[in-house]
Structure 1
Amino acid sequence: MHYCLIDTELGCFGLGWSSQGIARAYLPGDSEHSVRQRFDQLGSETADWPAFIDEARQLILGYARGEVVSFEHLPLDLSAVSDFHRRVYGDILQLKRGETTTYGEIARRLGDVGLSRAVGQAMGSNPIPLIIPCHRVLASGGKTGGFSAPGGSDAKLRMLALEGVEDPRAAQTSFDF
């Protein structure tokens, strides 16, 4: 796997890829040194990248500036994930900017609401966050749910805010009986 780092207004992103497509992304929140160390265990840094990585870099820079971007046409390499996780990721790849869903709704669309926890596990092990928009998946009742990227749920809320989504926590307290 090859990788590159992207210095954005939000911090250091990292992208890793194979000949098949983008295989790994690290979101801002850790130091550049830490991101580089994690990638060094997987492959080598390079300044020579394919056209789809150059495009992904431009989209990520735009996203970090708050621009409306779409990652939907970028090639992804999900060969290292299970079939179930690929199905879950395929579902959330249909979500558009500013659109959210829940773990339960995804499980229902996959045919069994009992899969909600398994959907949550898939979100927690998403190898390409942002591009596979796991930040758009909430817990039931509009609760934020977890987020395994640096900054946890606060990072998830910042990403949703960039997309124009109101803080789900505000909706939880709006019925003050």
Structure 2
Amino acid sequence: MGRQSRYQLFETAAGIAAIGWNRNGITGLRLPAPSEYEAERAILRRLPGAVRAEPPAEVRAVIDAAIRYFAGERVDFADVPIDMGEQNPFFAQVYDRVRQLGWGDTTTYGAIAQMLGAGPEYARDVGQAMAKNPIPLIVPCHRVTAAGGKIGGFSAPGGSMSKARMLELEGVATGTVEPPPAQQGFDF
């Protein structure tokens, strides 16, 4: 039962988000989606078999911090305990390194690869790790961008438009990001 996840939905200025946890820490986070249905569906894809429950105080504190983040308050998630389960060893190194990025700090996929002692050809692997990040915001993958000042991809609701809005909340100028016609970004 130690790894059995529980989850809770919560409302932010950007929409409905979801968080999952077990006794070891946060196991999943789904960034704000336009509806409760979408947020719940996304967290259950990440955490099949999770049950909806009232969060304990330490998880409630993370929820409150996420709500404040999407309201524009400077929040640090570096000390939040996480449980990412089994990970590809390179991905685990990427997540550990990305967790060290503070508010408004950005870097590139290639720079992360280089920091880990890998060549530039590993930039795509870093990008794959970011796309599979089960705990965005707490493992701040939105702070990792493509080379040449490009925003890069983002697998959360709203895609690169949401990534740009999160960076703008942190004071990072991103330029103009045009969303694909059918893609909705956070509404804040």
TM > 0.5 = yes
The residue that corresponds to 2:7 in the other structure is 3
Matches for 1:106-125 after TM superposition, within 5 Å: 106-112=112-118, 113-125=120-132
Distance change >3 Å, CA 30–CA 81, structure 1 → 2: farther
For 1:136 and 1:127, locate their aligned partners in 2 and report how far apart those are by CA, in whole Å: 15
Structure 2: gaps (5+ residues): 178-188
**Does residue 144 in structure 1 map to residue 162 in structure 2?**
no
Q: Is the 8 A contact 1:142 1:168 kept in 2?
A: no
For the residue of structure 1 that corresponds to 2:86, the secondary structure is coil
The residue that corresponds to 2:186 in the other structure is none
For the residue of structure 2 that corresponds to 1:26, the secondary structure is strand
Q: State the aligned residue count.
A: 169
Distance change >3 Å, CA 168–CA 104, structure 1 → 2: farther
The residue that corresponds to 1:156 in the other structure is 163
For 1:153 and 1:17, locate their aligned partners in 2 and report how far apart those are by CA, in whole Å: 26
CA RMSD of aligned residues (A): 1.4
The residue that corresponds to 1:52 in the other structure is 58
The residue that corresponds to 1:86 in the other structure is 92
Structure 1 or 2: more helix by fraction: 1
TM-score (norm 1): 0.90
TM-score (norm 2): 0.85
Percent identical pairs in the alignment equals 44
The residue that corresponds to 2:180 in the other structure is none
The residue that corresponds to 1:105 in the other structure is 111
Which whole-Å deviations, capped at 9, do the CAs of 1:71-105 have from their partners, x for residues lacking one?
11110002232221110011111111001000000
For 2:139 and 2:91, locate their aligned partners in 1 and report how far apart those are by CA, in whole Å: 11
Distance change >3 Å, CA 169–CA 9, structure 1 → 2: closer
Q: Is the 8 A contact 1:4 1:14 kept in 2?
A: yes
